[in-house]
Amino acid sequence: MAASPALLSLTPAVSRHPHLLFSPCPSPRHLRLAPPAAASASPGGGPGGGGGGVFLSPRALSQLDELAAFRYEHSFPHGSLTVRALTPDDDAMAEALVRLLASSFSETVRWAPAQRYAQLLTFVIRRYLHERRGLAPHAAVLVGFYRPADAAATEEDGDGEGEGEAEGGDEGEMACTAEVSFDAVGAPGAPPTPTPPLEFPYICNMTVKTSLRRRGIGKQLLKACEDLVIKMDAKRRIYLHCRIIDQVPFNMYRKAGYNIVQTDSILVWLSLQKRKHLMSKELPQASVGSEITTKDFDDNIMTS
């Protein structure tokens, strides 16, 4: 997931994980929406006075509130997971997320300048996340935090100040991330092939921290994405990509109810990419959240 990617078009050929599918951010297809307070902060309406903001529609305001309030929680025998949306104020959290994604991309690179490659990835991902965070409520970056079952005892012993705590604070250790776009405005500017319909929800850039894999966290992250799509009142057909060689994630998606819509032509190898399936699932119409979207999973079968 072994080719050198273009500077602003990172493909899953550099990683063995299923959904690290960064693409160039599109040129703006709509006005960046800003709260009225931000619009009046300067004569031009923005930090540099270079253009006024516009009022958000009632529906957009409701969706922003839904994003801010979103929480998906799941308890395992070995610990607990909480998933929420990254907010514009989460600058420190965003930096930790950049490191997580850069690590996932570069961990299988065996050639000498791997460290330099990781530095390049960090720069590109930081820029990408900055752009994507500005697309709310049309898209959201989800971040999951894991707390082991013995975390309370560890904290009582005064040992709760490790690296994971530094990244997630009281929420726990940053464990996973995924990105969800809800409509054509939030869709990636150059989605991977086979190209999904842009007006439908799309999940990408899913990854779980290396030390926390094989614990069922990836399954719960997928459920959190589905739960958020329902809460955001988006269209109920949801899409994602899975590389043909990624059999474990593929089995997870099939078990979750995703079916193959289309598969890359073998000619995609000419662009130094791995062939991928475009997969889709129709989410339930009843707004019962994760109770319905989780029923087909078995946490005893551990995947990423």
Q: Tell me whether residue 3 is in a domain.
A: no
**Is 256 domain-assigned?**
yes
Selecting among 146, 202, 253, 258, the annotated active-site residue is 253
The CA distance from 20 to 209, in Å, is 13
> Is 0.85 surpassed by the pTM of this model?
no
The span from the CA of 75 to the CA of 62, in Å, is: 29
Catalytic residue list contains 117:
no
* Predicted local distance difference test score (pLDDT) of residue 297: 43
CATH (domain of 95)? 3.40.630.30
In a domain, 270, yes or no: yes
> What is residue 55's predicted lDDT score, i.e. its pLDDT?
65
Residue 144 lies in a domain: yes
Q: What is the pLDDT of residue 90?
A: 86
What is the predicted pLDDT for the residue at 211? 93
Domain that holds residue 233: 12-22+57-293
Range 224-259 burial, b when 16+ CB lie within 10 A, else e: bbbbbbbbbebeebbbbbbbeebebbbebbeebbbe
For residue 40, is it within any domain?
no
Which alpha helices (H) appear in the chain, and where do they start and end?
A: 36-39, 58-69, 91-106, 114-133, 151-156, 163-168, 217-231, 247-255, 290-293
Does residue 52 lie in a domain region?
no
- CB atoms near residue 161 (< 10 Å): 10
Tens of each residue's pLDDT in the chain, 304 residues = 333 333 233 433 333 334 445 544 443 333 333 333 333 333 333 333 444 444 678 888 999 999 999 999 999 999 999 999 998 888 889 999 999 998 887 765 555 565 677 778 889 999 999 999 889 999 999 999 999 998 655 555 555 444 444 455 678 999 999 999 999 999 998 888 999 999 999 999 999 999 999 999 999 999 999 999 999 999 999 999 999 999 999 999 999 999 999 999 988 887 778 899 999 999 987 544 444 444 444 433 333 3
What's residue 276's pLDDT?
Answer: 94
CA distances 27 to 55, 110, 113, 161, 189, Å, are 21, 35, 32, 42, 8
Question: How many domains are there within the chain?
Answer: 1
Does residue 45 lie within any of the structural domains? no
